[in-house]
């Protein structure tokens, strides 16, 4: 039995002790209404003494949960099934949602209108977790009306949004990479750092415990947006979007060697592995992400209104060569630090009789249409860095290409590493003296062929030929044609 301690005054000594209950407010429930009365008996088990919350009515526990912050309320849902059900109450999370609206100073009238529209019955009728997800999106900033306006400002030269980096950093978007080995074991790694250019983002993963490269069978890249809750990072909720998924099988498309230390293997969809040259151990990974719809693709699973499906062009039954003309292209050669060359080309076309090999050629630069501004310094290199070493991959850079159709809609977007290789036999002089080099990029939707001449006395490369080949199947699908 626990003892009762009561303070008394000196003059009250010897008088009978009378304990008067405090007056209860008419709005306050009595003790018997709050908690059930349990009489102590000799049969009372230790289980009841250890966990008295199990004996409380759900209404009382909900009252207690109202005093928790959002992070604690979310974490308590992992305790057991009872707390999982109670902590997902729409009534609780609706309170957090309305408080967030007030906190962001969106106006008392809007908050009052929200309360008026959503009565208690309407709040409870929503699916379980509805108001919790609405609150998470509100504090994360995933309200598309807020950041979509920033993305509407387009760079007139590159044709891409100007504030992609600003929006991604304000939303605290990060990226994860998941590799799967032959036994089906999956390993997920957080990004080391990320950098941006005007056309693409570059995500890096450094020194982690990578599995051997020859054991990897597939690679996935995910965009991640975590909710800023005050809870352990392992339990923090968020959204994950699949941005790239590549099977690592057979021969890889490109292999670069630098300083007898690193060799780079490109596996597709902008994913490049940096390997120690004499081993099969991974030193780092670089992923290129083109800026077209980068915010939407990184948050795809959290924005129900976004659909990444490509919009087909309106069918034109008057123009017999619809889909063969009116293209615009912007091409940029760069590394992670600076732009090496950039140019924009418009009014690109292809005649029907020029289609061959399943590709539609668009000539940007040739002998009859030179471009004096299309040149780059001969010191082309791609920097790399690990925790212990750093270096440069010579004759390697990145290409970012955006092709628009006649309606100014992005039609083909590419961002990937490329290598400058020397051409041994070149029968065309193009009016330039010096060694000939080429840059080639190719995927399932098209390829880019670039021919360069190195001017040793000027230490520059001049682009003397540049052709984009677009898959005819891609053109037919987009324009509804049968070329």
DSSP alpha helices (H): ranges in 278-388? 294-298
Three-state secondary structure call for residue 150: helix
Q: How many CB atoms lie within 10 A of CB 191?
A: 17
Residue 361 C-beta-side C-alpha neighbours within 13 Å? 15
Q: pLDDT tens digit string along 365-408?
A: 987 777 766 788 778 888 888 888 888 888 899 999 999 998 88
Task: DSSP letter for 102, please.
Answer: H
| C-alpha closest to that of 118 among 101, 105, 104 | 101
Q: pLDDT tens digit string along 245-276?
A: 999 865 555 566 667 788 889 999 999 999 98
* CA atoms of 142 and 174, how far apart (whole Å): 14
Position 23 scores a pLDDT of 41
The 200-205 sheet, strands edge to edge: 193-196, 200-205, 282-290, 271-276, 262-268, 254-258
Q: How many CB atoms lie within 10 A of CB 268?
A: 18
Residue in the block written with tokens 């309106």: 314
Contact in structure between 326 and 406 (CB atoms under 8 Å): yes
| Confidence check: pLDDT of 44 > 50 | no
| Confidence check: pLDDT of 229 > 60 | yes
Q: pLDDT tens digit string along 150-199?
A: 898 999 888 999 999 999 998 889 999 999 998 999 999 999 999 999 99
Q: Considering the chain, what percentage of its residues have pLDDT values greater than 70?
A: 75
pTM reported for the whole predicted model:
0.78
Q: pLDDT tens digit string along 406-416?
A: 888 899 999 99
Expressed in angstroms, the distance from the first to the final Cα of the chain is 93
Position 376 scores a pLDDT of 84
* CA atoms of 475 and 424, how far apart (whole Å): 34
- Report the pLDDT averaged over residues 340-356: 92
> For residue 103, which phi and psi values (nearest 5 degrees)?
-60, -35
Q: Considering the chain, what percentage of its residues have pLDDT values greater than 90?
A: 35
Which is more confidently placed, 17 or 375? 375
Contacts of 310 (CB under 8 A, 6+ apart): 478
How does the average pLDDT of the chain come out, rounded? 80
Position 431 scores a pLDDT of 63
Position 144 scores a pLDDT of 67
* CA atoms of 483 and 481, how far apart (whole Å): 6
The 238-247 sheet, strands edge to edge: 186-190, 173-181, 216-226, 238-247
Contact in structure between 446 and 411 (CB atoms under 8 Å): no
Domain limits of the chain?
Answer: 58-96+129-140, 148-299, 327-479
């Amino acid at each position: 039995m626990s003892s009762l301690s009561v303070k008394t005054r000196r003059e009250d000594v010897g008088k009978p002790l009378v304990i008067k209950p405090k007056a209860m407010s008419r709005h306050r429930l009595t003790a018997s209404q709050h908690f059930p009365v349990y009489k102590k008996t000799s049969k009372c088990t230790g289980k009841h003494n250890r966990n008295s919350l199990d004996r409380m009515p759900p209404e009382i526990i909900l009252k207690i949960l109202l005093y928790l912050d959002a992070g604690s309320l979310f974490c308590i849902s992992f305790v057991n099934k009872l707390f999982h059900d109670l902590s997902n109450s729409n009534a609780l999370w609706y309170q957090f949602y309305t408080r967030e609206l007030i906190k962001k100073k969106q106006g008392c009238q809007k908050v009052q209108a929200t309360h008026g529209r959503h009565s208690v019955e309407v709040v409870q009728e929503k699916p379980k977790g509805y108001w919790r997800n609405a609150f998470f999106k509100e504090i994360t900033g995933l309200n598309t009306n807020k950041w979509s306006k920033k993305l509407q400002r387009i760079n007139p030269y590159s044709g891409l949004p100007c504030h992609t980096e600003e929006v991604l950093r304000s939303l605290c978007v990060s990226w994860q990479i998941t590799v799967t080995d032959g036994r089906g074991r999956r390993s997920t790694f957080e990004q080391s750092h990320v950098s941006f250019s005007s056309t693409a983002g570059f995500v890096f993963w450094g020194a982690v415990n990578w599995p051997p490269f020859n054991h990897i069978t597939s690679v996935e890249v995910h965009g991640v947006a975590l909710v800023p809750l005050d809870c352990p990072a392992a339990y923090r909720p968020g959204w994950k979007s699949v941005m790239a998924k590549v099977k690592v099988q057979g021969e890889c498309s490109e292999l670069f060697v630098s300083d007898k230390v690193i060799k780079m293997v490109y596996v597709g969809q902008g994913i490049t592995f940096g390997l120690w040259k004499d081993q099969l151990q991974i030193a780092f990974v670089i992923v290129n992400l083109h800026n077209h719809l980068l915010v939407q693709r990184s948050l795809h699973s959290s924005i129900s209104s976004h659909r990444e499906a490509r919009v087909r062009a309106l069918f034109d039954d008057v123009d017999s060569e619809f889909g063969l003309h009116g293209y615009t292209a912007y091409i940029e050669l760069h590394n992670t630090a600076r732009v090496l060359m950039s140019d924009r080309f418009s009014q690109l076309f292809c005649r029907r009789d020029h289609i061959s090999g399943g590709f539609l050629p668009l000539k940007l630069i040739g002998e009859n249409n030179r471009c004096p501004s299309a040149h780059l310094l001969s010191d082309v290199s791609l920097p790399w860095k690990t925790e212990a070493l750093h270096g440069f991959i010579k004759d390697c850079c990145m290409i970012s290409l955006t092709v628009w159709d006649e309606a100014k809609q992005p039609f083909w977007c590419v961002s990937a590493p490329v290598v400058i290789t020397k051409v041994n036999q070149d029968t065309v002089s193009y009016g330039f003296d010096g060694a000939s080099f080429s840059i080639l990029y190719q995927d399932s939707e098209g390829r880019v062929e670039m021919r360069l001449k190195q001017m040793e006395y000027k230490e520059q490369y001049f682009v003397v030929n540049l052709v984009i080949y677009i898959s005819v199947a891609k053109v037919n699908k987009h324009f509804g044609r049968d070329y």
